Structure 1
């Protein structure tokens, strides 16, 4: 029997946490997170998912249950959809914004990394030309430039594939439509530098271009986003209609013939011109606002970009950015983003230098590198800066100041890139590169210095956490002994009738069959998760313990539970967490067994269950080995 890969193990654990296959309406992914549309949100256990090894955090936004994985999200996604019967990328429930973001992520995500990679190639070529201007006439440069620019030029072909999957259209018919938009003869029918339109090949020159007598306003479809997506959407609707009305004997070849014959002219006559008008309006609007006050615009984008990332709404800016790239070759919205991204990476780097906590150091170092070099800041945000609060604010301050300076210089990325240090050269030809360097550099310095000087509430160092009892006193004794979460009878974790817990995927621990309807804090620390039935506690040493009352009791929606604590409060070992009605829970068909799991060992190397049989409040249940 083949051993499951780490991605399959993680995918299985996440799927259990969101309520299983039957609770997933659809799933897609973006650059760093799995985006679930759930049938019943109450069946998902957010605390359990967040406690899963390999999961950075969970964000609920735009009608989606978003599980942040990081750079390996594509591997986990592929393992998820390959092994389980789950729809990929279906429409999300929620408002207009939620549906718009889902549409954008579904269409752009499959080729995002390729688009970013070819954009990086163009950025490196820009450096080459700056250092050696004569390289622009070099055939080697020309070939590499074609390699980096071709994908963006022929973006409609990629959009045709992903949009067809999203709208459930025939992908090959979509490619035929997109191909007509960028066909060599069509490309020639665009206004030249003098404003004179060149006609289609074979069309008698000089006359107005028409289709069955209707004038055609031809626009450029190279890199076209909105026209392609709308054309494929119209195709899907027409295909569904023709499937219902055409006889089966002729459907297979007549449908694509009619669709292409109708949708291509419709795009040239209506969809293209209207889309171009809307897209150009958006682009002109951004330029107009930037013209009024680039400093304010840059400051806002620099300050709030990482906030947008947290809520997953940064995707809503993608169409406007690509529209700008296709019409003018750059987007002013991208200029301030380098300061915003690198500032968060710098704040994480400062935490790496300043913290004395070994576990936090191990997270902050790689997170800082990922954020600064590659522009992927989710590990830095969720694992370091937002967790510590103040460093995130310092990063926002740095991003605002740096973004304002970059925007004041008219800086912008020349291609579609993920803003990071290695793609900074994509701004070399647009606006003032010196102002971009000054703004981004200052953002990095501000975030780093503020984090180092003003500091943050650090976790105690590992050395302090494992000090001998005579040196550490009460803190050390609390840290190495985890007490009973309830009064009752101890059950080994592998005997719990729930695979999420019994498999040990979430961590080591044990369970108690409660004799009294009360659950207690097994350690002293901060309550980082409080639900009616589940409580997560983080100690000052970084140890994290989950107390989960009952199996599937999330479905009770708080009925029969009376929480005695609030999220963010501090508790001491033995404090009451919640009271619950044992009889009512059992009468509702739920098992009230109370599970206790160490989801993060902190400075300790092993968790050893020591309690057996009956256990009372305050008795040691687990030993932690340093």
Structure 2
């Protein structure tokens, strides 16, 4: 039995053998290879890398040092980026996707930074929800058991800047441990104590406005972003002999002090301005002020500006014995949970459903909305907007009815009973109900994007249903090369999905029209050697590449040049469009499928402008490789002849 390869360890060993992180200018990966750009290739130990478990071979081409891994290259890549500063898949993907208006780029930035910690946030939120539920059934908040359980559920939320420091460092390619130190400055007990004391703070005579950075988001993201810029400059400017310790020695005080002295005053000023504005409006139009406060509550929370309103609420409770503002913020909090619930029930995206379920539960029960906002609603945009609008309506209703509370509690479904017996209790519950219903219904109807197969698959759906496809069919002789024997034959020059039966999930059909050649003749030594597996190469004469087999898309690179497909019969396939075309970064490629999609044989994978690719100097050969060739007794390609899309291309037998 073959030994299971630890590809993450392989990646780390390869990084060491190419000369370490300090010898790497950049690193990306394609469908099969780690592609390094090294500062000094002479430092790379070719022989040792080739001998490393999990490595197929080493190539040097186009200024890149290429380490061929195979289908498991993403795992080797993860092993490198998770233990170095060379970036991450998330960072690389997000960087490519950071286009559009400023709002879209901001949402994408926040979402990508929160993505790695979503499950922890969701799990912690559920712990908080169940702890709060236990309190409603008589569990004492004064007990040591409650204190410990509450700390377990609250720790990630309370110390959120630490988690965000790590993910932000990945995103901005900064030193993670320096980023953690910056977060530590913001959450250091004595720094928090200076804020709590409320006394003037100075640093060598310079006033420092102290604010609470507990659970904050934007301050640490800004700090790490500035850190990354300063680090890159210092890395270039400082001598290598002192660089390692001098960079953090300079970054920590410069960025730390800048954050405390700049972010703090800006946050305090903005919070005070908002609080004053809300209070002024409340005096003559409570419903309007309540609607504004509730509508923007979650936005204020994202920027940490809500902390400026909390002292106003607490002061009202102390001096007046009640507060009207706190009564309005239940609606927006629960509305975000309701929007996430609608996403969970409506979406067919399994990953999104898995996040939205616990996120909605923690948001509705415990009022912990971070998983719902950053993992579901904000990335989808519309659910977040619907939650804010629903919250505004609910807050306006509560404020118009004169709702108030005599105790300050975290807004959640389980703390709603605090309003029982208070003036305008009915209006509070009505406002929350309207907010949740509005957010849920609008999200369910209009806020969840479809992730089903694209419209071009309508042809296959018609065939499945026995409907007329609109393309003339004709009888095909039993000895025809078209698979299967009863396949639809289309007019010359028409590219459509092949009518292939569900049972045909072993043999491969031609993914593109053109001349078939043997794998050994392809202009790439790794593929030609057969190290990646057996298959077929087609020099294309058509501009659409289709699936050679029915199965699941397990790999679909952003560049559009490579796709991994796994069939139900166990065939694992790599469709590689062109040689070294990863360097085009998607130019001339229009992807038709995404990772996780289920495709039928003949379904379009990608549209390619092959003449333009050739004009850029790249080989346009389309490779179809059975990467688990050893699992089959026969992998027999048809070569040295012209094939059309849908023609039998490779016979596979166990």
> Structure 2 length normalisation: TM-score?
0.49
- Structure 2 counterpart of 1:144: 149
CA distance, structure 2, for counterparts of residue 164 and residue 492 of structure 1: 43
Deviations 1:6-50 (A, max 9, x none): 87899999821498534799xxxxxxxxxxxxxxxxx9xxxxxxx
Matches within 5 A, 1:348-387: 348=347, 368-369=353-354, 371-373=356-358
Report the CA distance shift for 1:22/1:7 in structure 2 as closer, same or farther (over 3 A): closer
CA distance, structure 2, for counterparts of residue 533 and residue 163 of structure 1: 27
CA distance, structure 2, for counterparts of residue 566 and residue 161 of structure 1: 32
Q: Is the 8 A contact 1:325 1:331 kept in 2?
A: no
CA distance, structure 2, for counterparts of residue 181 and residue 211 of structure 1: 17
Q: Determine if the alignment matches structure 1 residue 511 to structure 2 residue 537.
A: yes
- Structure 2 counterpart of 1:188: 196
Q: Is the 8 A contact 2:518 2:639 kept in 1?
A: yes
Partner SS for 1:177: helix
- Structure 2 counterpart of 1:21: 35
CA distance, structure 2, for counterparts of residue 117 and residue 298 of structure 1: 26
Deviations 1:148-171 (A, max 9, x none): 334444445556666678555845
Q: CA deviation at 1:409?
A: 2.9
- Structure 1 counterpart of 2:47: none
Partner SS for 1:135: coil
Q: Is the 8 A contact 2:216 2:303 kept in 1?
A: no
Q: CA deviation at 1:189?
A: 1.4
Q: CA deviation at 1:340?
A: 3.5
Deviations 1:35-86 (A, max 9, x none): xxxxxxxx9xxxxxxxx9999xxxxxxxxxxxxxxxxx9x887424158983
Matches within 5 A, 1:98-497: 104=110, 111-132=117-138, 135-156=140-161, 168=175, 170=178, 174=182, 177-178=185-186, 180=188, 182-183=190-191, 185-190=193-198, 199=199, 217-227=209-219, 270-278=262-270, 292=288, 320=302, 322-324=304-306, 328=310, 335-348=334-347, 368-369=353-354, 371-373=356-358, 405=390, 408-410=393-395, 432=429, 434-435=433-434, 438-439=437-438, 442=441, 460=461, 474=487, 478-479=500-501, 480=504, 482-483=509-510, 485-492=512-519, 497=524
- Structure 2 counterpart of 1:551: 579
Q: CA deviation at 1:321?
A: 5.7
CA distance, structure 2, for counterparts of residue 345 and residue 512 of structure 1: 43
Report the CA distance shift for 1:340/1:216 in structure 2 as closer, same or farther (over 3 A): closer
Q: CA deviation at 1:108?
A: 5.2
Deviations 1:184-225 (A, max 9, x none): 6424313xxxxxxxx4xxxxxxxx665656666544444454
- Structure 1 counterpart of 2:81: 81
Q: CA deviation at 1:339?
A: 3.7
Deviations 1:517-571 (A, max 9, x none): 556777899xx99x999799x9xx9x99997653235667999x9x9x9979xx9
Higher mean C-alpha deviation, range 135-144 or range 401-410: 401-410
Q: Is the 8 A contact 1:493 1:502 kept in 2?
A: yes
Q: Is the 8 A contact 1:346 1:447 kept in 2?
A: no
CA distance, structure 2, for counterparts of residue 233 and residue 521 of structure 1: 41
Q: CA deviation at 1:272?
A: 1.8
Q: CA deviation at 1:114?
A: 3.8
CA distance, structure 2, for counterparts of residue 566 and residue 266 of structure 1: 44
Which ranges of structure 1 fall in alignment gaps of 5 or more residues? 26-42, 44-51, 56-72, 191-198, 200-207, 302-315, 350-363, 377-391, 417-422, 600-604
Q: Is the 8 A contact 1:225 1:323 kept in 2?
A: no
Report the CA distance shift for 1:498/1:522 in structure 2 as closer, same or farther (over 3 A): farther
Matches within 5 A, 1:598-609: none
Q: Is the 8 A contact 1:224 1:323 kept in 2?
A: no
- Structure 1 counterpart of 2:370: none
Matches within 5 A, 1:90-101: none
Deviations 1:348-385 (A, max 9, x none): 46xxxxxxxxxxxxxx6776455434569xxxxxxxxx
CA distance, structure 2, for counterparts of residue 281 and residue 226 of structure 1: 18
Report the CA distance shift for 1:522/1:374 in structure 2 as closer, same or farther (over 3 A): same
CA distance, structure 2, for counterparts of residue 266 and residue 499 of structure 1: 52
* Aligned partner of 1:593 among 621, 630, 644: 621
Partner SS for 1:510: strand
Report the CA distance shift for 1:427/1:615 in structure 2 as closer, same or farther (over 3 A): farther
Q: Determine if the alignment matches structure 1 residue 4 to structure 2 residue 5.
A: yes
Higher mean C-alpha deviation, range 549-558 or range 282-291: 282-291
Matches within 5 A, 1:32-47: none
Q: CA deviation at 1:144?
A: 2.0
Report the CA distance shift for 1:187/1:158 in structure 2 as closer, same or farther (over 3 A): farther
Report the CA distance shift for 1:623/1:277 in structure 2 as closer, same or farther (over 3 A): farther
Higher mean C-alpha deviation, range 10-19 or range 153-162: 10-19
Partner SS for 1:21: strand
Tell me the matched-pair count: 487
CA distance, structure 1, for counterparts of residue 417 and residue 633 of structure 2: 51
Cα RMSD (Å): 7.3
Q: Is the 8 A contact 1:211 1:265 kept in 2?
A: no
CA distance, structure 2, for counterparts of residue 410 and residue 489 of structure 1: 67
Matches within 5 A, 1:527-606: 550-553=578-581, 585=614, 590-596=618-624
CA distance, structure 1, for counterparts of residue 115 and residue 229 of structure 2: 23
Q: CA deviation at 1:441?
A: 6.1
Report the CA distance shift for 1:236/1:513 in structure 2 as closer, same or farther (over 3 A): closer
CA distance, structure 1, for counterparts of residue 523 and residue 626 of structure 2: 15
Q: CA deviation at 1:320?
A: 2.1
Report the CA distance shift for 1:498/1:173 in structure 2 as closer, same or farther (over 3 A): same
Q: CA deviation at 1:273?
A: 2.2
Q: Is the 8 A contact 1:550 1:593 kept in 2?
A: yes
Q: Is the 8 A contact 2:32 2:71 kept in 1?
A: no
CA distance, structure 1, for counterparts of residue 485 and residue 179 of structure 2: 66
- Structure 2 counterpart of 1:620: 648
Report the CA distance shift for 1:181/1:275 in structure 2 as closer, same or farther (over 3 A): farther
CA distance, structure 1, for counterparts of residue 148 and residue 415 of structure 2: 18
